[in-house]
Amino acid sequence: MESHKPFRVVIAGCGLVGLIAAHIFSKAKIDFVILERYESPLSTRGTILAIWPQTCRILNQLGLLEAAQSILEVVETSYVISPENGKIRMKDKILSMLGQNHGYKIKCCHRPEMIKFLYDSLPEDAKARILTKKCVKDISVSDDGVEVVCDDGSTHQGSIVIGADGVRSRVRLLTQALRANTTLEKLPEDQKAPYTISYRMYFGVTPVFKDLGTGVRYDTGHNGLTTQIINGKNRAWIGVYEKLDHPTTKATRYTEADKKALVEKWGHIVMAPGWTFRDVYALQEGETGFIDLEEGLIDQRYHKRIVLVGDAIRKLDPHAGLGFNNGITDIVALANSLRRMLDENKSPSTQSIEKVFEEYQTTRAKDTKDMSELSMLLPRLLAWPTWKYKVVARYGLPYLPLTTYVAKGIMGPSILSAPVIEWLDESSLPPSKTPWKNFPTSQIKEVSG
């Protein structure tokens, strides 16, 4: 049965993925509304954000990459050092290697600045479709559409719902309840809290460390602990990752007292040559955070007219900076399939929509699994949970060509096969050692020729 209502997308969540979705659907001329639970879409919380080559291509297609250069930085050099004395154990060449292989270097920025940039660069009619203080309470699905009820009593109709509402996604829970024909309260505990927490992270921002050089990253490797300093042009980002005694699925809310206790415990650790955690802690500016790091994947991404993207279906450890980039790839793959469907039928049936969602789930499955496994591996090679990881990190990584294998054999295929926005042209790509696999439809013949 086909719907005769105009196609409209209801997006839950106006974070980074939600804002990119707004840009893409605006360009595609697909009607949408974004329901954001907070008072403003301009979140000030968060720390560093990595922008990988495949995401640079999407920003380029959206006409945003050049304008974003003012907030983007390049991390050229990465070191792993001893936490006892700051001695360099290994110079990691993977960042420069990825830049050479794919043309675009790995870039980074301050997360709140990217949020503001993506919002400010939206057309005014798209900004008007972002509704704040709209916390999703319930979703009902009919043969020809969806209705989303918010906790303020407002209702919002559409053709589909995209859950881009993060790690504690309400849309995910409602989808699971609908699939099982039950209530949220009766969902199994492993569905209510599907991600596992093995590490917790303290993060903050400091002034630039002038003695460390710009665009330099320092990681430490230690039993159950790893630290990180990324020294940028205008600020430095810091992170301290501590292994929990036992994995759990229940997140903890940490206090200022917990932060101080962490410093008391690990303040002597050297985070960069000449700088201990205690030294760095004393220099912090603005808001700091102390959070549990969830990890895991959700098997099923959709049900009828509801589909999930980003952290609602996967949570990655932040060491590699893959979470945002995987979320962008999700929404690009989904938008491509939706637009192809709408080119054939402006009022698709639930069956047609489910075929699109199934295609999206299938095409994203392998990459999601590979990136999840890689994201789990990296912190364990630095904050050693077992002696095996310690042996590989201390005696394998510095002397074996594992960096080349990871760059070419694991990260490379994922980057090269990432989808682009099919209907938007792309300006010329920077020179690279390895060829990209996907191009906008209008440019495929030009590239192949």
pLDDT for the residue 449: 47
Segment (H or E) for 74: strand 73-74
Same domain, 50 and 69: yes
Same domain, 184 and 202: no
In a domain, 159, yes or no: yes
Same domain, 380 and 431: yes
Token pair in block for residue 86 = 């700051």
Of 295, 326, 344, the residue that ends a domain is 295
Query: CB-hemisphere CA count at 13 Å for 168?
Result: 8
pLDDT for the residue 263: 96
In a domain, 110, yes or no: yes
Could you identify the residue written with the tokens 């060509």?
401
pLDDT for the residue 292: 93
Same domain, 22 and 50: yes
pLDDT for the residue 209: 95
In a domain, 3, yes or no: no
Same domain, 82 and 201: no
In a domain, 2, yes or no: no
CA distance 7 to 30: 7
Q: What b-and-e string marks burial along 407-417, b requiring 16 or more CB atoms within 10 Å of the CB?
A: bbeebbebbbe
| CATH at 284 | 3.30.9.30
Same domain, 183 and 207: no
In a domain, 39, yes or no: yes
In a domain, 1, yes or no: no
Same domain, 319 and 434: yes
Phi first, then psi: give them for residue 215, nearest 5 degrees.
70, 35
CA distances from 349 to 158, 178, 353 (A): 13, 19, 6
Same domain, 188 and 286: no
Same domain, 255 and 317: no
In a domain, 396, yes or no: yes
Token pair in block for residue 266 = 């690990």
Same domain, 428 and 315: yes
Coil/strand/helix, residue 218: strand
- DSSP 8-class letter at 83: T
Of 264, 295, 326, the residue that ends a domain is 295
Could you identify the residue written with the tokens 């070191």?
79
pLDDT for the residue 63: 96
Token pair in block for residue 316 = 């990655």
CA distance 439 to 446: 10
Same domain, 253 and 346: no
**pLDDT tens-digit profile, the chain (449 residues):** 455 678 999 999 999 999 999 999 999 999 999 999 999 988 777 789 999 999 999 999 999 999 999 999 998 888 888 889 988 887 877 788 888 899 999 899 999 999 999 999 999 999 999 999 999 999 999 999 999 999 999 999 999 999 999 999 999 999 999 999 999 999 988 888 889 999 999 999 999 999 998 999 998 888 888 899 999 998 999 999 999 999 999 999 999 999 999 999 999 999 999 999 999 999 998 889 999 999 888 989 999 999 999 999 998 877 777 889 999 999 999 999 999 999 999 999 999 999 999 999 999 988 888 777 776 666 666 666 665 656 666 656 655 545 666 677 778 888 899 999 999 999 889 999 999 999 999 877 555 44
Same domain, 99 and 156: yes
In a domain, 51, yes or no: yes
Phi first, then psi: give them for residue 163, nearest 5 degrees.
-85, 100
Kindly provide the residue ranges of all beta strands, DSSP E only, lying in 93-186, ordered along the sequence: 107-110, 130-131, 136-142, 145-150, 155-158, 160-163
Q: What is the total count of domains within the chain?
A: 2
Of 251, 270, 295, the residue that ends a domain is 295
Give me the domain span that covers residue 352.
Answer: 8-193+296-448
| CATH at 319 | 3.50.50.60
